[in-house]
Amino acid sequence: MQESGTTAGLRGIDSVDGTVAWASGTGGTVLRTVDGGAHWIRCAVPDGDKDGTTLDFRGVQAWDANTAIVMASGPGDKSRLYKTVDGCKTWRLLLTNPDGGGFWDPYRRDQRGHLGILIGDPVGGRFPVWRIDPEYSPLRLHHAPKAHKGEAAFAASNSAIFVDDVFFDFWIATGGKSGARVIKRIDHDFDSFGFDTFPSSVVPVGQNAESSGVFGLSFRKGPKTADREKDFLNGIAVGGDYSKPNDAQRTAAWTADGGNTWTASTIPPHGYRSSVQWGESIKAWIAAGTNGSDISRDDGKTWQPLDNGNWNALSLPFVVGPKGRIGRLNAAAIPKP
């Protein structure tokens, strides 16, 4: 456990390299460490002289110790993006939600670490999607995926999306009364942002309730190959029902074909999970939620409990939660297979 210096609810975390990391949360809170978490420094509040302290920063994506973008989630114009290039001394507003009834959920960079994708809850029957380039103005996609009745994405951990390369593929996780889906954008030509290219797959996670579905989604890079379509075949979807944190039924599923089909975990995590990530150094997946964390060494087919802490989001080796909770993974303490 680490000393965060705040009691804010933390839901955003992005580890640049295990030494530099950024975290974000309620009350306009943004934190930064440059020494592996030995010291967490509180940043200037974006728009702190206006209404910044009322914002809930559910997501943060960082490039280095000086450059990061934070995403506020909230109704209408309470959903915003801010950028800093000076180690969070000052912030520039990049985008305010133009949809009065909208609510932003996840914002994630691609695997090259440059461009990103921002998703919101359905507006006019479709999930709004923006392409975020830190050097240029945000671009809204002309055609976004259609939403089912009662379907939404979740902002619990800023991980309801996984972005391979924004010129090619990304995956969106959903839930709600209509059930859980993973919606994939497939590239059909270089400039296919104007085309409706979003097939979807049903995922056996959650219980068809407003508070359930897939909350966290991630893929791992496979063996090196000239065929980029084989890069992200193995993936994990985690979730359940956040109103029933100790219910272990239908809390995780796995795919081995890039998200075309999903299979429920035989031994699932021991409760609702909001975030999941592949740990390359430990060759295993870790999932975290409000009643603890779990580990899987067989690509999500079975899970073993790690702890019973209260967590919201992962960016290994860090995990964050309510009331300023920040932990750092101690790989040496992980139970042996």
Q: What CATH number does the domain containing 83 carry?
A: 2.130.10.10
Residues 86-113 as b or e (16 or more Cβ within 10 Å = b): ebbeebeebbebebeebbbbbbbbbeee
In a domain, 183, yes or no: yes
For residue 9, the model assigns a pLDDT of 98
d(CA 26, CA 43): 13
In a domain, 5, yes or no: no
* Residue 239 Cα distances to 53, 108, 145, 155, 173, angstroms: 29, 18, 21, 12, 10
Of all residues in the chain, what percent carry a pLDDT higher than 90?
Answer: 84
How many structural domains are present in the chain?
Answer: 1
For residue 4, the model assigns a pLDDT of 98
Check pLDDT > 50 for residue 246: yes
For residue 191, the model assigns a pLDDT of 46
For residue 207, the model assigns a pLDDT of 93
In a domain, 127, yes or no: yes
Neighbours of 188 (CB within 10 A): 9
Check pLDDT > 90 for residue 120: yes
Banded pLDDT at 166 (limits 50, 70, 90): low
Check pLDDT > 80 for residue 323: yes
Check pLDDT > 60 for residue 2: yes
CA 76 to chain centre: 20
Range of the domain at 216: 10-330
Compute the average pLDDT of residues 41-58.
98
- The string of pLDDT tens digits covering residues 9-26 is 999 999 999 999 999 999
In a domain, 336, yes or no: no
In a domain, 261, yes or no: yes
DSSP helix/strand/coil, 331: helix
For residue 169, the model assigns a pLDDT of 84
Check pLDDT > 50 for residue 171: yes
Check pLDDT > 50 for residue 209: yes
Q: Which of 257, 263, 274 is nearest to 309 (CA)?
A: 274
- The string of pLDDT tens digits covering residues 260-303 is 999 999 999 999 999 999 999 999 999 999 999 999 999 999 99
Q: What is the mean pLDDT of the chain?
A: 93
Compute the average pLDDT of residues 148-166.
93
In a domain, 1, yes or no: no
In a domain, 250, yes or no: yes
In a domain, 335, yes or no: no
For residue 307, the model assigns a pLDDT of 96
